[in-house]
Amino acid sequence: MGERPDPRSDPRIPERRRGLRHAWDATGYSLAGLRRLSRETAARMECLGAALGAAALWGAGASAVDVLVAAILFLLLLAVEAINTALEVLTNRVSPGWSEEAKDVKDLGSLAVGLLILANAGWVAAVCTGLA
């Protein structure tokens, strides 16, 4: 087996910085993740669902607290969608062929997203019907 190259000599790996520079770098990584997530059809559909939910909340005269809860639930949904996408990308990399374990990883990630979609829809429905 060949030796692994020293990561410090790989020009694709950025130098680790500290303080405000680290925060700046982390922001850039987050924005890159957002750009990657925006290429996912599911994430775009979830954004459309959030827009429809926001319109329903506005039409129902939802309170600021109701809208804040909906916004937090939507951000959680996007966060879980990002993790699910990362799991799928990594699974495809380490298990390019079909395997029961790879299927389980993808199914469980999908379940997590689906449960948060239900939570988002449930909250909007509860607010719009006066149950919340």
Catalytic residue list: 81
Cα first-last separation, the chain: 61
Contacts of the segment 2-9: beta carbons below 8 A, 24+ positions apart? none
Report which DSSP code applies to 65: H
Identity of the amino acid at 57: L
Angle at 34 between CA 104 and CA 27, to 5 degrees: 120
Residue whose C-alpha is closest to residue 59's, from 131, 121, 128, 132: 128
Q: Is-contact 49 92, C-beta < 8 A?
A: no
